[in-house]
Amino acid sequence: MKTLLAYCMLVFASLFFGCSKRPIKANTVSTAPLAGTMDKTDTVRVMAYNVLNYGDLCQGSTVTLDGYFRTIIQFTQPDLMSCEKMTAFSPAPGASGNLADDVLANVLNSVDPGQYKYAVPTNASVATTMSVLFYNQEKLTWVNTQTLLGLVTDFDLYKLYYNDVNLAITRDTTFLYAVVCHTKSGAASVERDYQDSVVVSAVRTKFSYFPNLIIMGDFNTTGSYEQGYQSLISGRDGTIKMSDPPYFPDETLKYPGNWSVTPFFVAPYLTTSTRSLPDVPNSCGTSAGGKGWFDHIFISSWLSNGANYMQYVPHSYQSVGNDGDRLGVSINSGVPSGNTAAPADVLDALFNFSDKYPVMIKLVVKANRNAISPKDPAAK
């Protein structure tokens, strides 16, 4: 009986642990810092900005707009910035008339040459406007661009990695993925619901669970009840859904949200419009002051929890230049009181450059010192 019992236990062990005759060892992977590595904490500032047909000359010359844009960039100092609604151009770097190269030369790199680059964009939908992702190459390196949907405009997924200070020693760092969106505007949400839903479905097809992922841009949503918005924040579990930071993890707001009907509840987050009649710089875009929250930056649970060296900084989400007192008035209006959310020259630049407030978040990044990272979710 003892012999039979011993045999059964041996069979069970071989099935459970494998057929190797070597003794089984406990996991002894060391988490101690590798020699020569540095302990460093960094910040990555992320910004999404609808630049209102930048390049079509409706608001004035590109040279004039570049001046306003420089003032905004010097104040915000983004490390990763999506520009939605740029006038379409050839995606080839250096191509004649390439607006992205103009932004690099005359705005982003005008103070520190060579600091910024842009990920090669796409325009498979042959739209009149397109989105471009700019990044600080001192902190991030672009890997590739993948078009998730080409409908009205392109919805692209960008893969980048963080330039970890210890990368030469550990050969390990963290990736950051960003989807840039500019969905259909208008009261009816059917088409933008479809755009958002298809994009989210494509990302879920690509990843078994969401990595360090940002989905950002101008979603033109009027409330949290829209199907497209729900497709972003809903899922069977937290690993495959996104979060809108003021709702979670900040918990400054609570659902449901009807941002156009009751905008005073979300006054500090309104992004449309920076302008109100009669004080408008031109006939382009919209006016009526703060009235809608169309621009968002959604984050994955990895970024909420800091699962892979990168984490959302609590309460860092902001609509740049919005002091929460802009309902129905311009960003630089003295009514009902002067705006102290930014210096006067920045407020004037935001007023003149676009009818949208840019939105921003901060991510804190911890240096990898032991070459140990959670597995990046591979494509299914």
Convert the pLDDT of each residue in 188-202 to its tens digit.
Answer: 899 999 999 999 999
State yes or no: pLDDT of 180 exceeds 90: yes
Per DSSP bridges, beta strands 213-218 and 175-182 are: parallel
Give 378's pLDDT tier (boundaries 50, 70, 90): low
Predicted structure pTM score: 0.91
pLDDT band at 269 (very low <50, low <70, confident <90, very high): very high
Rounded (10°) CA dihedral 287, 292, 294, 297: 120
Q: With a cut of 50, say whether residue 110 has pLDDT above it.
A: yes
Task: Say what percent of the chain tops pLDDT 70.
Answer: 91
Query: Phi/psi zone of residue 198: left (φ > 0), alpha (ψ -120 to 50 degrees), beta?
Result: alpha
| Beta strand 140-151 pairing with 80-87 | unpaired
CA 47 and chain centroid, separation:
7
Which stretch of 77-81, 188-192, 301-305 has the lowest confidence by average pLDDT?
188-192
Note the Cα 303 to chain centre separation in Å: 11
Cα separation, 374 vs 380, whole angstroms:
17
Closest CA to 348 of 72, 22, 37: 72
Select from 284, 286, 278, 252 the least CA-distant residue to 267. Answer: 252
Q: How high is the mean pLDDT of the chain?
A: 91
Above 50 in pLDDT, residue 370?
Answer: yes
All domains in the chain, ordered by first residue? 41-366 (3.60.10.10)
Region 108-121: mean pLDDT is 94
Band of the pLDDT at 19, cuts 50, 70, 90?
Answer: very low
- pLDDT band per the 50, 70, 90 thresholds, residue 14: very low
Strands 310-312 and 295-299, sheet pairing: unpaired
